[in-house]
Amino acid sequence: MATRDANGLIQRPAKPAQTSTLNLYTIYGQSNSTGTNSTTPFTTMDATFGAITMLGRDGSRRRDGTASWIDQVNPPALVDFTLLPDSECQAPFAVDIREHAAFRALMLVNQRQLELTGQRHRAVVSCHGHTAYPTSQLVKGTNAYANLISAVTKMRNYAQANSLTPVYRGTLWVHGEADFAATGSGYKATLKTLRDDLNTDIKAVTGQAQNIPLFITQQSNFSNYSHSIGTISYPVLDQLQAHIDYPGEVILCTPMYPGENISTANPHYAGHQTARWAHGIGNAMSRVVVDGATWNPLRPKTITRNGNLVDIEFWVPTGSLVLDTVYAANTADGFFGFDFRQTGGTTTLTGVSLLNPTTLRFTLSAAPNGTTPRIRAGRNSSAAIALSGVRTGARTNLRDSASDTPWQCNWCVHFDIDVP
């Protein structure tokens, strides 16, 4: 109910305080980082205390959305923006930015900062994704990388010209489809090199001492591709391993299967589906950027075995574990998206259950009697390509209890780990 003054007039809520800091971000990767095909507008999510300015796709799209300077270093549109501190947003490209992953994530960051400090998280985001680009076309030495650094320079110049202190908080990385067929651990090494180069080059631009993380998603739409049948793509596992091996530098925010692709032939997400995985980015960024804390997605912490019983304790971001078969369909085998495998032997998985608020128990038919026994989460369990998402794609049913709305919770990552 609205608050009224002594004369019965509705009182407007106090405007949130402004800060002298301008928070800088870029979002980088492939087409899902740009919001391609996000065409279904939100109806209930608005920037009530918006302080977020978006710059166009590839950092270079004209304001009318009809043309862009792809792969031109330092395109003119990179300098063409004005921060509107009292508006919800500015959209110089032809996508409703409320459908954009970076905007959705920063809405949560802004909300968290308002809760803690009463001040807005004023942010400018420049988009630099390129459709179908593998990592080789995005690393340092490419035009795409040069444009990202150019955009940061111009955002810094804008901040300083308006008596604001620029602080670059992080790069959002949404990528993987172009590298899904890769094998080995090259993708992990590339993530580390990319993060280190961005950290060095952007700090040189802003002059800040604060190190800069690479916030990444874990691609889940590998089930759309034939090489994924029955398995998990190597780069997907590398995305998790980079988080483990380079703590605080490469930060895995969320898997993307809470959202569903448009079709097996179109690995993009409608706006409302983008929100369902971008919320996980916002949860992670709020924890790191605003709270100054460490983030771990819902992932294995320890694994132990006693005979035929295997227990996996998880890092649980909020609350306790939930096996949700309402929002996410259980897999056909009834094991909630998990499986056991070994080389040789006859041991099979017979049950998966919650042992306590942070631990899952896996019951095997017998102690492992083959070699290299492993438990996997979120493989493509289909015998064919399958639409990614929570109905038919590579997924699990495991989430935390961060919200009464399932897609606003944190969902279990894809993993493949040794059984002791």
Strands 371-377 and 415-418: antiparallel
What are 276-308's pLDDT values in tens digits?
A: 999 999 999 999 999 999 999 999 999 999 999
The per-residue DSSP string of 157-199 comes to HHHHHTT-EEEEEEEEEE--GGGTT--TTHHHHHHHHHHHHHH
- Does 13 reside within a domain? no
The answer to whether residues 279 and 151 belong to one domain is yes
- Does 6 reside within a domain? no
**pLDDT band for position 99 (cuts 50, 70, 90):** low
The arithmetic mean of pLDDT across residues 334-339, rounded, is 98
φ/ψ of 245, rounded to 5, equals -80, -25
Helix (H, G, I), strand (E, B) or coil at 201: helix
The answer to whether residues 135 and 271 belong to one domain is yes
Helix (H, G, I), strand (E, B) or coil at 405: coil
Q: Is pLDDT above 70 for 222? A: yes
What are 250-275's pLDDT values in tens digits?
A: 999 999 999 999 998 889 898 889 98
117's enclosing H/E stretch is helix 101-117
Q: Is pLDDT above 60 for 5? A: no
Whole domain around residue 352: which residue ranges? 299-418
- Does 2 reside within a domain? no
Query: Which amino acid makes up residue 34?
Result: T
The answer to whether residues 157 and 271 belong to one domain is yes
| Lowest mean pLDDT segment, chosen from 26-40, 215-229, 338-352 | 26-40
- 3-state helix, strand and coil shares in percent for the chain, rounded to the nearest 5: 30, 25, 50
CA distance 394 to 378: 5
Mean pLDDT of the chain: 84
Give the HSE-up count for residue 8: Cα atoms under 13 Å, Cβ half-sphere.
0
The residues, any chain, with a CB within 8 Å of residue 303's CB and separated by 6 or more, are 310, 311, 312, 313, 375, 417, 418, 419, 420
**pLDDT band for position 367 (cuts 50, 70, 90):** very high
- Does 370 reside within a domain? yes
What are 38-53's pLDDT values in tens digits?
A: 654 433 333 333 456 6
Q: Is pLDDT above 90 for 364? A: yes
How far lies 66's CA from each of 37, 56, 69, 79, in Å? 15, 11, 11, 18
How far lies 159's CA from each of 22, 83, 168, 389, in Å? 6, 9, 11, 40
CA distance 86 to 269: 30
- Does 144 reside within a domain? yes
The residues, any chain, with a CB within 8 Å of residue 212's CB and separated by 6 or more, are 168, 169, 170, 171, 195, 198, 199, 202, 203
The answer to whether residues 252 and 348 belong to one domain is no
- Does 5 reside within a domain? no
The answer to whether residues 243 and 272 belong to one domain is yes
**Final residue before a domain boundary, out of 250, 271, 290:** 290
* Structure confidence at residue 73 (pLDDT): 47
* Structure confidence at residue 155 (pLDDT): 84
Q: Is pLDDT above 50 for 89? A: no
What are 167-194's pLDDT values in tens digits?
A: 999 999 999 989 887 776 699 999 999 9
CATH number where 369 lies: 2.60.40
**pLDDT band for position 98 (cuts 50, 70, 90):** low
Spacing of C-alpha 235 from chain mean position:
15
Question: How many domains are there within the chain?
Answer: 2
- Does 222 reside within a domain? yes
The answer to whether residues 91 and 64 belong to one domain is yes
Mean pLDDT is highest, among 81-85, 99-103, 142-146, 237-241, for: 237-241
**Final residue before a domain boundary, out of 245, 262, 290:** 290
114 and 48 Cβ atoms separated by less than 8 Å: no
Helix (H, G, I), strand (E, B) or coil at 376: strand
The answer to whether residues 282 and 352 belong to one domain is no
**Final residue before a domain boundary, out of 253, 269, 290:** 290
φ/ψ of 205, rounded to 5, equals -75, -50
Sheet holding 349-356, edge to edge: 299-306, 309-315, 359-364, 349-356
* Structure confidence at residue 74 (pLDDT): 47
CA distance 386 to 282: 27
The answer to whether residues 336 and 266 belong to one domain is no
The answer to whether residues 320 and 282 belong to one domain is no
* Structure confidence at residue 72 (pLDDT): 46
CATH number where 42 lies: 3.40.50.1110
* Structure confidence at residue 126 (pLDDT): 82
The per-residue DSSP string of 229-296 comes to BTS--HHHHHHHHHHHHSTTTEEEEEESTTS--SBTTB----HHHHHHHHHHHHHHHIIIIIT-----
Residue recorded with tokens 């899952």: 360
Instruction: Output the pTM of the full model.
Output: 0.89
- Does 408 reside within a domain? yes
The answer to whether residues 105 and 221 belong to one domain is yes
The answer to whether residues 327 and 269 belong to one domain is no
The answer to whether residues 124 and 79 belong to one domain is yes
* Structure confidence at residue 51 (pLDDT): 56
The arithmetic mean of pLDDT across residues 367-374, rounded, is 98
* Structure confidence at residue 11 (pLDDT): 47
